[in-house]
Amino acid sequence: MSAPPPPDFSGLDPELATEAAGVGGRGTLLGSSASSGLLPGWAPYGVFAAALAFCAAVLAALGIFTIALMLVFGAVVAVFGIYAWSRAVEGSRRAKDRAITMAIVAAFGVAMAPLISLLYEVIKRGVPGLSAEFFTEDARGKISGGGAEHAIVGTLVITGIAVAISVPIGLMAAIYMNEYGTGKLRRALTFFVDVMTGIPSIVAGLFAYALFEIFFGPGIRMGVMGSVALSVLMIPIVIRASEEVLKIVPNHLREASYALGTPKWKTISKIVLPTAFAGLVTAVMIATARIIGETAPLLVTTGVVDSLNTDPFGGRMQNLAVYAFNEYRSPGIDKAASYDRAWAAALTLIAIVMILNVIARLVYRRYKTEIR
Amino acid sequence: MEGRKLRNMFGSSAETEAKEQSAAEKAQGQMARDVSVTATTTEAPTAAPDRRAKTLVATSVDLYYGDFHAVEDVSMTIEPNKVTALIGSSGCGKTTFLRSLNRMHELTLGASVKGGITLDGEDIYHRGVDPVQVRRLIGMVFQQPNPFPTMSIYDNVAAGLNLNSGRTSKSTKDEVVERSLRGAHLWDEVKDRLGKPGSGLSGGQQQRLCIARAIAVEPEVLLMDEPCSALDPVATLAIEDLIGELKSKYTIAIVTHNMQQAARASDNTAFFNLEESGKPGRLVEIGATETIFTKPTQKATEDYVSGRFG
């Protein structure tokens, strides 16, 4: 593709040509920029920096300086600043373009700010709590000190079982809804899945507790109860996400398979699912990341405990979220050390989620198929 | 291959066997008459068939999408070892009719069929017939080349075997893959990269790969739904040559919007038309390609093939 030749307005009558050449035009392209000028390349950054400095000064003068306020007000001031400057030099069309660009970039920045601030805070406060002891010891009988091994193992066991329960059910439900379901039943299912996505997590925990209480009596606490509670939260997410992935498998691939005389179940298992594989892995990872940090449902189902327990059917089981909560709520004699451990647990949890995400990315890249 | 029956399409009760036999005989007779009728009109020299493929006969076929009546009262014979072209303007039901010939039509939600379609006398819409079995005998090539994106070239061709025939030995598979790719004139171009993904081929090569995939399961009939509409003229010519060769083994029906293609590549031509939009499409006439293009009996056909409308 070669660039289109520059439009030639010389043949048009002067009035039309001015309009066609745009803002402040003289009838030729060069004329328009020569007359109205351009902002320098650093203009947006300069304006933003100046806006931040201005807001910082104003806020400091008022005695209410914080970084967050400076960023938010700075973004607003920068949008108006670039508009005014550009309008004076470049004309109104470019000014609007610059203002909108600035607003969009600033909105992105505002959206990212809490995330970065959160990561920064968790790393800053979490790192001091990390030690070899943190990963290799539990907290049985420790008045102060002790580690979170039991919580890390518990998190992995509880989440692992939840994934093992949710993925087959969720995936098969998604296959039903996308490949088999029709009409009213399908619509009803979609509705209930949507409702399930929105149930408060504590309700899922109470449901699992009530279910197990029927069989084991009041006060029962087991790792697997937590897994059941998490599954209630995870299944609808798996269904929704995998349904979207299955939807984008083009129908012509299914037809090609049918035309070879392939039964429907084989078409689904050998053509549709492999084609969607990378997307399905991502769907499962998103759902896992969503439930791995749940606290409330686990408080009522797996309970709080200080010692390592690897048997999901053998009584109370600790996990990282509840561990962090508990270290904060009832610190040991050395309060600062307890708080450090709480932050370290939060950091570990984020690290696990990140590792899962990286794995999902790698799988996605390795197996993604070009879908036309 | 000659004696292959749709036997496992039916339950194996003696009654249905007998019915099947007599129906088949009847159709043979019917077929013989049809051939004798058309033999006089077909002047184009045809290659002697390597094997006699099967005949598809449609009798008063009506096709619906829910309440929408898409195709009305189509009766035609698609003769063995010949290429039958279905032509007509867009939306007149050619593709719908083609898809009903191997029971792909019913995969659309709410679609239904009335009337009968037989393959060498056996009703493919019989209650005891498994549509999966029908599609094994009547293959299809689609408008858009659609190789399976997760599979290599080799696996694409072997897909029919891998998916449907249980365990097949490696040597048999190699043989089928090579034979099919040679049959589709693709072997020389891809023999050094059989393990590469099929989606890496050019459009024309992909379409030939799809043809190879379809003939690898040795169907009786090959249905082609505008197989060249997404291809350039060179690839189109390659596919047309291929179609000319394939008819020595298969019965071929091809939907096309390209009248030169119908004239070049087909033995018989069926012209479909839509009287007005909202009305069902109908078969206006069917006959030897030369007759349809030179002295059609219907005014509408003449207008269409001479380019006066559509």
Q: If you average pLDDT over residues A168-184, what whole number do you get?
A: 91
State whether residue B214 sits within 8 Å of chain A by CB.
yes
Per-residue model confidence (pLDDT) at position B28: 47
| Cross-chain Cβ contact A258/B107 below 8 Å | yes
Per-residue model confidence (pLDDT) at position B309: 63
Domains present along chain A, CATH in parentheses? 38-127 (no CATH), 133-367 (1.10.3720.10)
Chain B residues lying within 8 Å of A266, measured CB to CB: 163-164
Domain boundaries, chain B: 7-144+221-305
Chain A residues lying within 8 Å of B104, measured CB to CB: 255, 258-259
Q: Name the average pLDDT for chain A.
A: 86
| Cross-chain Cβ contact A261/B133 below 8 Å | yes
- HEC string for chain A: CCCCCCCCCCCCCHHHHHHHHCCCCCCCHHHHHHHHCCCCCCHHHHHHHHHHHHHHHHHHHHCCCCHHHHHHHHHHHHHHHHHHHHHHHHCHHHHHHHHHHHHHHHHHHHHHHHHHHHHHHHHHHHHHHCCHHHHHCCCCCCCCCCCCHHHHHHHHHHHHHHHHHHHHHHHHHHHHHHHHCCHHHHHHHHHHHHHHHCCCHHHHHHHHHHHHHHHHCCCCCCHHHHHHHHHHHHHHHHHHHHHHHHHCCCHHHHHHHHHCCCCHHHHHHHHHHHHHHHHHHHHHHHHHHHHHCCCHHHHHHCCCCCCCCCCCCCCCCCCHHHHHHHHHHCCCCCHHHHHHHHHHHHHHHHHHHHHHHHHHHHHHHHHCCCCC
Q: For residue range B127-174, what is the model confidence (pLDDT) as tens digits?
A: 888 998 899 999 999 998 999 988 999 999 999 888 887 777 888 899
Q: In chain B, whose CA is at the least distance from the CA of A269? A: B163
| Cross-chain Cβ contact A274/B214 below 8 Å | no
Residues 231 through 260 of chain A touching chain B, CB cutoff 8 Å? 250, 252-253, 255-260
Per-residue model confidence (pLDDT) at position A30: 54
| Cross-chain Cβ contact B148/A257 below 8 Å | yes
Distance between B18 CA and the closest CA of chain A, angstroms: 26
Compare CB distances from A259 to B140, B148, B162 and report the shortest one's residue: B140
Q: For residue range A247-271, what is the model confidence (pLDDT) as tens digits?
A: 999 999 999 999 998 999 999 999 9
Residue B1 clears pLDDT 90, i.e. is over it: no
Distance between A263 CA and the closest CA of chain B, angstroms: 6
Q: Name the average pLDDT for chain B.
A: 82
Protein fold of B7-144+221-305: Rossmann fold (3.40.50)
Compute the count of residue pairs across chains A and B with CB atoms less than 8 Å apart.
80
Q: If you average pLDDT over residues B98-109, what whole number do you get?
A: 90
| Cross-chain Cβ contact A255/B150 below 8 Å | no
Q: In chain A, whose CA is at the least distance from the CA of B149? A: A369
Distance between A290 CA and the closest CA of chain B, angstroms: 29
